[in-house]
Amino acid sequence: MEDQDRSGTAANPDKKAGVGSPVKDPEPTFFQEAKIFNDPVHGHITIHPLCVKIMDTIQFQRLRYIKQLGCCYQVYPGAAHNRFEHSLGVSHLAGTFCKKLQQKQPDLKITPKDVLCVQIAGLCHDLGHGPFSHMFDNAFIPAVIKGSKWKHEKASMAMIDHLIEENDLMKDFVKFNLEDDITFIKELIDGPPENKDNPWPYEGRLQDQSFLYEIVANKESGIDVDKWDYFLRDSHSLGMNISFDCHRLMDFSRVIEVKGKKHICFRDKEEGNLYDMFHTRYLLHRRAYQHKVTKIIEEMYVDALVKANGHYLVAGKEGKQMKMSEAIDDMVAYTKLTDDVILQIMRSPDENLKESIEILERAQKRELYPFIGEYQPQFDCSKENIPKWKDAIVSLSNQNPEDGGQQLTEDQLVIHVVKFNYGMGDKNPIDKVHFYSKKNEIIESKKKTVSRMLPGSFEQKVIRIYCKCKPEELQLRKEATECVEKWWDNVVKGLEEFTTDVSSE
């Protein structure tokens, strides 16, 4: 019987893996064990046998049940894709990019092992995402563990170890001579180990191969295959057209030594394409990721999960019952946390989950926390100022409960400081990119001649305010609106007085 690929068609034994083959042709068994997937973004992609072994585990299959865009799906019905297909796409692009460099520059001595490690890193980079993706580590964990610095990348590292041990995959890593490369794979995802001050902090590869660390997760310029895949995949699902071309960027890339380190550099004529790439990021955040309805549904989900944290438990190692917030340190328990936690809570008969269920049902019925207003500050603002702003807004409330009014409280206000940028705050990420000329010589950015319409500022901040009131609490919503408007008028007036005082000196 012919080996069948995941799309239901027979795998082609004559087809090379990916775009371009390694220096040494794969063993014949590669074509028997590799799988071909029909991806809606990249077309037919070939997955390496070891990657297939990783994919066919409970730990990896879990990604099928975590939405790539979290609560964005509640606003954009097309945004139904999951971390699973994104991970396959990143692995494919990582292998494609690495092989192109291998073919164009044999002197780099990129081995088939290097290519496979980069592919595995792309495949496993999101193993640590929790329910509703970034909502879990950016909002839920900080709400229940004050001051926490935990990020999903930490869980990805732990999940790789757990996946290998739980499924006895070390023998498969040995089969492909990767038993000593697991540290390298982790470094490709999360950067160098902590507390390393030496000039070359990585352990997986020597400094001569520094460029390999810029393919999956580029810590310097932010240009990597992870972004390329989610830009393409998200825009496809959201119904948005984008103009940048990642395959053209790969074709016009070279590894060149800059200040003692080998970096992936791009042709100078691709600078406009890169600006398109970063502008795509800005547009996706503006229109979808940071959409005002997306963010308030996320706020409601977080409120529900925080209230459920001590009552909705999952079994960890040796059957120990753990809170959701404790599962981040136990990969057995963490494997069981996916987006369906919301449905499990809603269906639970536990009276302790009653408040959580009420909030989730409100979100389902679109009885959302009302949006009060959005303001563009002309001053430097940060999340640290939010408690002070809430106090100022509440102080303007003149409702007296004894007279039938409803006093506004700080707990009823939700304030978000939303940032839209090119990925590096108020800095221009192009300044971190290395360009080369037609003669393969390193040159400086030509941003002054790329276009006169480039942004003068690379970050925009807005303040959004909501009120946690129920649909029937019309008086409270009106009170919140009036207090917020007064507060903003005072802020603007204060800024004008400050400007006048300074200019008159």
152 catalytic? Reply is yes
Q: Three-class SS of residue 479?
A: helix
What is the rounded end-to-end Cα distance, in angstroms, of the chain?
88
**Quick check: 102 and 115 in contact, CB under 8 A?**
yes
Side chain identity at 81, as an amino acid letter? Answer: H
Catalytic residue, candidates 42, 86, 92, 152? 152
318 dihedral zone (left: phi>0; alpha: psi -120 to 50; beta):
left
Residues 272 and 277: their CA atoms lie apart, in Å, by: 9
CA distances from 311 to 287, 350, 352 (A): 36, 8, 7
Interior angle at CA 129, CA 163 and CA 382, nearest 5: 150
464 dihedral zone (left: phi>0; alpha: psi -120 to 50; beta):
beta
Rg (CA), the chain: 25
Q: What is the DSSP letter of 56?
A: T
How buried is 351 (Cβ within 10 angstroms: 0-12 exposed, 13-18 middle, 19+ buried)? exposed
What the block records as the tokens of 26 is 């794969």
What the block records as the tokens of 251 is 């074709």
Active-site residue numbers?
152
